[in-house]
Structure 1
Amino acid sequence: MLSNKLDSDLQRFFNLCNNRYLWLELPTSDQKRCWGSPHGLVVTLGPDYQAYLVHVRKEDQIALPPLNPIRALAQLEEWFCLVHKFIILKDPSHELLFLVFAIFGPVNRLAFARVTFNRGGDGAALNRRGQGQWAIVPNPDNLKFNDVVCFNDKIYALCDNGKLVCLELDALPEAKVQVIAPQPSEEEIGTPQKLYLMKSQQNLIAVFRYRVHNPKKMRQETKKFLVYNFNFSASNWEVTDLKDCTAFVGDGNSWCIPTSTIPSRNNCIYFTDDNWELQRYPGVAYGGRDVGVFNIARKDIQQLPFRKDNPLYYSRPNWVTPSYYAFR
């Protein structure tokens, strides 16, 4: 999904399968920041601090709970920098529920809300923590959250420079954060600028992204990635690659798909620009053009073949798949 064009709910998409463009009407997307997902859904957020869950094919939307608890903890962040990442996951505890996570504020805290597409009822099953409001995840150890994923019906988060934790959202008296494994050694990973967590068909994978600053262009430029697989038996991270899979990272969800039938896309990472550290004030866009494909085997980066995109101070390209989940 490419950058927003002003005064229009029509959103331009670039199809990686055939290198073609299409326009879709996306309600409430005009002058909003968007976060993509592999569920056919995006989260939009505007200057009024109202967030929506929007279906890109159904042209339907659901208002997310008011962001008041997040705003109260975020220390007066500008609206487009209030939430670093919205992540949309299927709730493993209920087939009609989605979990929407928000990583927010200057120290990357974590909150979640539960959203149902069932308009008809089953309210008793949905009377859960995070239903109708944002639940702040306790963080007594001041962990910096980077990404969240559901793997084998459990919710995991990647914190700091690679620390893995498991989230128990329904624990009493409040949600719990259990550390599963420490981060890899500093000698091994150096200083990654961004970290992502995703699942492949059988593995839990962490991706570390490394950039350099280009002051003339007022942006960061990605130079490489490292990929790690989590070994549950040994409780540690092991260097690996993506083999017959391809990963997508940037704003919103991080995910991995098998590409064994498309050898040219095996072992690649498609990335968009999710560095917002320089974008502190409205009006002038900083960055947004750090977009491309990293081939892990060759260790090189290629540009994507879409024409010129014009990032705005609140809008940049991000990934979304045209899934056909419906609001029921």
Structure 2
Amino acid sequence: MSADWSTLPLDLLGNIAFKMDSFEDFIYFSAVCRSWNCASSSIKHLWRAPSLPWLLLAENTQGNPNCLRNIFNLNNNKHYSLNLPETFGARCWGSPYGWIAMAKRDLTVQLFNPFTKANISFPSLQTLPHLPIYEPGSFDDSWYDYYDWVLMFFLQKLIVLKVPQSGGHHEFVIILLSPEYKGLSFAKCGDQAWTTILIEDLVLGVYDVLVMNDLVFALYNYDGAIAYWSVKEFYGAGVVKPTIYSPGKYRIFERLNVCTNYAYLVQSGSDLLMVLRFKEDVMDSDDLYDIVYRTIEFKIYKLNPKDQNWENIKDLGDIVLFVGDNSSMSVSLAHAKGLRQNSVYFTDDDTESWLCPPEQGGILAGRDMGVFNLRTNRIERFYEGNDRRSSICSPTWFIPHFKIVLGLGSSY
């Protein structure tokens, strides 16, 4: 006599679901039947998935009426196709918190969870005090229009920060980086406009931003200086004014001051890391007349808090880094056995090269993607699918989560 597994008590099913050790297994569990779905829904706000980044691949606009978009799981090298019309036509940046930050052609900004379809609205880009006003004839419409220019050129990156609040809750703040405007802007859920972060004596802008120990750290362009401010200043009435923490080290940054190179800030446990990315121009194998770029090397430095110097490191231990067109993140191999040790996984984030469409000689986003081994200094491919390339945005790393909204803040 066969058992009817759907009649198991909900508390027992909840205990079983809680022991699922992967995000996809939890989803499969919830899809078995109505009672299993009810049990998994009742405990999913408590369940913690292993912190392994997944890759939201580029959108496919050709012959795709259901707006399916592939998500790639590094741990088992499997694809999952999701119906995600919300992401089509938008630039997307991943985060470690389940959210995808999206900016759309109508200049709206949202945080979007591709698995739960939950979203949080943020102020329109039109509220940015430094956003150039469109004037007819100011843009070459044969290559791109004003809205393309805002998404592809004015916006460098949207970085999602998880800011602690009282009572153990958190709120999500978006930091906006722009190569056109050398300062920073931020917005919280419920804000009516973006707020400027005043940075004095800033030459070229900011590479990356992260939250660590209730402080926000910013990596300045040009010389690698580090500045910080308290997360409490996101809720103050005045303009945020960062304090310089670590003076710039121009010698380290001398090679980096080329437009195609980049730098990232990454938290690894209690350490603050700076990751430098170097590229070179090469001939594209797909078109011998097309000069493109590729990443050739990464250098990693750890900040010594005693003397505020950057120390070069060549061994990450059991930590793997994920950088690119996303919020930078680190993952322990204890939670992700399928990853390559002592490596940096990277995606394409050279926005300026994606400006004009391919038929006009433009370069598709997503070409410069791979994994760099710090021990061998070699780069290998981890994904070769055609859906890594797009004229809109590059594939982006994010860590899946289920979301609960608590007032204007959010928690997991």
TM-score range, shorter chain: 0.7 to 0.9
Match of 1:214 in 2: 282
2:177 and 2:132 mapped to 1: Cα distance? 10
CA separation of 1:157/1:252 partners in 2, compared to 1, >3 Å: closer, same or farther?
same
CA separation of 1:293/1:187 partners in 2, compared to 1, >3 Å: closer, same or farther?
closer
| Per-residue deviation, residues 253-277 of structure 1 (Å, max 9, x unmatched) | 0011111473862211000000012
Moved over 4 A (4+): 74-77, 282-285
Q: Among residues 170, 173, 177, which one is paired with 1:96 in the alignment?
A: 170
Q: TM-score, normalised by structure 2?
A: 0.70
Secondary structure of 1:148's match? strand
> Shift of the alpha carbon at 1:3?
0.6
> Shift of the alpha carbon at 1:113?
0.9
- The amino acid across from 1:84 in the alignment is Q
2:226 maps to 1:164: yes
> Shift of the alpha carbon at 1:187?
5.8
1:172 and 1:299 mapped to 2: Cα distance? 48
Match of 2:90 in 1: 32
> Shift of the alpha carbon at 1:309?
2.6
Do 2:76 and 2:338's aligned partners in 1 also have CA atoms closer than 8 Å? no
| Per-residue deviation, residues 116-172 of structure 1 (Å, max 9, x unmatched) | 7xxxxxxxxxxxxxx342111112312511110111121101111421110343466
- The amino acid across from 2:325 in the alignment is D
Do 2:276 and 2:298's aligned partners in 1 also have CA atoms closer than 8 Å? yes
The farther-off stretch of 283-292 and 147-156 is 283-292
> Shift of the alpha carbon at 1:68?
1.9
Residues 106-145 of structure 1 mapped to structure 2, 5 A cutoff: 106-115=180-189, 131-143=191-203, 144-145=205-206
Match of 1:61 in 2: 119
2:242 maps to 1:177: yes
1:5 and 1:71 mapped to 2: Cα distance? 34
The farther-off stretch of 252-261 and 203-212 is 252-261
Compare the two structures and name the one with the higher strand fraction: 1
Residues 207-286 of structure 1 mapped to structure 2, 5 A cutoff: 207-214=275-282, 216-241=289-314, 242-260=316-334, 262=337, 265-282=340-357, 284=359, 285-286=362-363
Match of 2:376 in 1: 298
1:221 and 1:283 mapped to 2: Cα distance? 18
Identity of aligned residues (%): 26
> Shift of the alpha carbon at 1:12?
0.8
Q: What's the RMSD between the two structures over aligned residues?
A: 2.3
| Per-residue deviation, residues 95-127 of structure 1 (Å, max 9, x unmatched) | 2311111102424431111127xxxxxxxxxxx
Compare the two structures and name the one with the higher helix fraction: 2
Q: TM-score, normalised by structure 1?
A: 0.87
CA separation of 1:24/1:176 partners in 2, compared to 1, >3 Å: closer, same or farther?
same
Do 1:217 and 1:287's aligned partners in 2 also have CA atoms closer than 8 Å? no
CA separation of 1:185/1:323 partners in 2, compared to 1, >3 Å: closer, same or farther?
same
2:132 and 2:229 mapped to 1: Cα distance? 22
Match of 1:307 in 2: 385
CA separation of 1:305/1:279 partners in 2, compared to 1, >3 Å: closer, same or farther?
closer
1:164 and 1:327 mapped to 2: Cα distance? 33
Q: Among residues 33, 45, 57, which one is paired with 2:103 in the alignment?
A: 45
Larger Rg: 2
| Per-residue deviation, residues 237-267 of structure 1 (Å, max 9, x unmatched) | 1111322100000112001111147386221
CA separation of 1:74/1:226 partners in 2, compared to 1, >3 Å: closer, same or farther?
farther
Do 1:149 and 1:198's aligned partners in 2 also have CA atoms closer than 8 Å? yes
Match of 2:251 in 1: 186
CA separation of 1:74/1:103 partners in 2, compared to 1, >3 Å: closer, same or farther?
farther
- The amino acid across from 2:86 in the alignment is T
2:104 and 2:355 mapped to 1: Cα distance? 15
Do 1:34 and 1:45's aligned partners in 2 also have CA atoms closer than 8 Å? yes
Do 1:74 and 1:105's aligned partners in 2 also have CA atoms closer than 8 Å? no
The farther-off stretch of 247-256 and 315-324 is 315-324
2:159 and 2:66 mapped to 1: Cα distance? 25
2:202 and 2:249 mapped to 1: Cα distance? 19
> Shift of the alpha carbon at 1:38?
1.1
Match of 1:87 in 2: 159
- The amino acid across from 2:97 in the alignment is H
- The amino acid across from 2:247 in the alignment is P
Q: Structure 2: where are the runs of 5+ without partners?
A: 1-55, 135-145, 284-288, 407-412
